[in-house]
């Protein structure tokens, strides 16, 4: 069953939950996902470690990616939570460390895949090398997606874009405040 068709609307979301380490938190998030009728929910800052998948008693499937080293702190971590319809359309997924996860779904259109990339960027307080490494990795993942596929980038970019979209008219003018350093780094990706 394809996830994306021209006859139906699907809803996607992203949420920085600050942690999923608390008991029952995943079920609580799944209830909110159902309440908003989301097919796929990207989740940031889960604070889960390792890479894997987990099915909840309520039926949702979680694909998660965190630190994979032994005895690492419970920080960062990204997850994609999927409805049963999304699970049926899932064709594959990839972990790209504790900040990026990608899942691919079949669509009604033959030869076109829908890729959803969930990420959580380093904040402005991280050093330039860490931020450059993150954005270079993200750029590489996006570039590996086929050009005829639908690639959707969601997550917490820890960025302020602001209202000035001069030279980047595809961004819209609905941002708040002034553009910050992470907002400047994000701008070139918005052109793609």
Which pair of tokens denotes residue 86?
A: 């999304």
Rg (C-alpha) for the chain, rounded Å, is: 17
Residue 181, pLDDT score: 82
12-158 domain in CATH 3.30.420.40? Answer: no
Domain residue extents for the chain:
12-158
Residue 93, pLDDT score: 99
Residue 191, pLDDT score: 61
- pLDDT string in tens for the chain (192-residue length): 788 787 889 999 999 999 998 889 999 999 999 999 999 999 999 999 999 999 999 999 999 999 887 778 788 999 999 999 999 999 999 999 999 999 999 999 988 999 999 999 999 899 999 999 999 999 999 999 999 999 999 999 988 778 877 777 767 777 778 887 888 777 677 666
Residues 6+ apart with CB under 8 A from 7: none
What would the 3-class secondary structure string for the chain be?
CCCECCCCCCCEEEEECCCCCCCCHHHHHHHHHHHCCCCEEEEECCCCCCEEEEECCCCCEEEEECCCCCCCCCCCCEEEEECHHHHHHEEEEEECCCCEEEEEEEECCCCCEEEEEEEECCCCCCCHHHHHHHHHHHHHHHHHCCCCCEEEEEEECCCCCCCCCCCCHHHCCCCCCCCCHHHHHHHHHHCC
């Amino acid at each position: 069953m394809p996830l994306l068709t021209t006859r139906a609307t699907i809803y996607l979301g992203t949420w920085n939950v600050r942690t999923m380490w608390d008991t029952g938190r995943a079920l609580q998030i799944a209830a909110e996902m159902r309440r908003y009728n989301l097919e796929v929910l990207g989740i940031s800052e889960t604070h889960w470690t390792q890479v894997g998948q987990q099915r909840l008693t309520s039926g949702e499937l979680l694909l998660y990616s965190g630190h994979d080293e032994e005895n690492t702190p419970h920080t960062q971590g990204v997850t994609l939570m999927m409805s049963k319809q999304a699970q049926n359309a899932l064709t594959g997924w990839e972990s790209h460390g504790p900040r990026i996860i990608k899942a691919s779904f079949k669509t009604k259109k033959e030869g076109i895949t829908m890729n959803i990339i969930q990420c959580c960027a380093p904040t402005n307080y991280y050093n330039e090398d860490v931020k450059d490494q993150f954005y270079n990795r993200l750029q590489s993942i996006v570039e590996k997606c086929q050009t005829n596929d639908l690639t959707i980038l969601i997550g917490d970019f820890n960025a302020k874009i602001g209202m000035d979209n001069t030279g980047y008219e595809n961004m819209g003018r609905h941002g708040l405040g002034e553009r910050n350093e992470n907002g400047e780094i994000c701008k070139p990706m918005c052109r793609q």
